Amino acid sequence: MGKITSALKKAAEERLGRIERIAQVRERDKVIIKKMRESKVDAGIITYFDPKAIISEQYKTLRTNLLSLNKGKPPKIIIITSSVPGEGKTVTGLNLSFVLAQAVNKSRVLFVDADLRRGRSGRYLGVDQPKGFTEYLQGQAPLEDVMFHLEDDNLSFIVSGGVPENPSELLGSQQMQSFLDYVRPNFDHVIIDTPPVIPVTDAGILGPMVDGVIVVIQAGYTKRGIVRRAEELLHQAHSNVIGHVLTNIEYHLPEYIYRYL
């Protein structure tokens, strides 16, 4: 695993140095999104570097399961959260966004970092984006100033931005509802990263406003009672928990399976 990680980091380093920004304009209320090429993406976003890797195949399985929900009419706007910090929700959300965008039908995908307290998506994507979701919700920046591409035009991102004094109130605001009303017809999939459920109420606020919630659980780390409590809080908030993702699993792949992959 150490050799794989080193190779991925080396690949990321080779992408440094060329950042191209394309100006944005509005055309009949349609946002033209700027592009940042050759970004310093973290090696943990394996689906970006190697869509055919074994780990990437697991994210594709998650994609298949998601798209098969509701008789082929899957939830469009989905929250990715966890019970407590450190379970891998942001990495999971980013990898899921990449595989959704890599599908044959080239779906329009938007990843939103709504963890306004400790958002880390900008760090994982390797971009220096001064304005983010906080500034948009506060009315300090329009969408074209906070939304960007890396390389694929059908995959867009919004990082969290600054840390506001009232994150919960911003997520429950009319501006947030207006944002959801805009992205629903303009994207095929919207993945929203929120803070963990147990420490703060943010995921519970957004839960009833979206189509479904996926809870990330780290194997060998999160206690079962904590997960149950997180789900109780989500259900009390009338959120629709549609599934779970178990991270940090280590298992042996037989040699014949590895050869096939």
Residue 112: partners with Cβ closer than 8 Å, 6 or more residues away: 133, 157, 158, 190, 191, 192, 193
240: pLDDT strictly greater than 90: yes
pLDDT class of 70 with cuts at 50, 70, 90: confident
Sign of CA dihedral 128, 133, 136, 138: negative
Can you give the pTM of this predicted structure? 0.82
SS3 (DSSP) at 245 = strand
42, 51 contact by CB (below 8 A):
no
User: Whole-number mean pLDDT of the chain?
Assistant: 85
* Predicted local distance difference test score (pLDDT) of residue 25: 33
Distance CA 196, CA 83 (A): 5
The CATH number linked to 177 is: 3.40.50.300
* Predicted local distance difference test score (pLDDT) of residue 7: 47
Containing domain of residue 109, as a range?
2-260
Distance CA 95, CA 40 (A): 15
Q: How far is CA 136 from CA 25, 124, 162, in A?
A: 16, 21, 10
The residues pairing with 77 across neighbouring beta strands, listed in sequence order, are: 190
Highest mean pLDDT out of 20-24, 66-70, 168-172: 168-172
pLDDT digits (tens, 9 = 90+) for 192-239: 999 999 999 999 999 999 999 999 999 888 899 999 999 999 999 999
* Predicted local distance difference test score (pLDDT) of residue 5: 46
Tokens of 168: 């919960």
Number of domains in the chain: 1
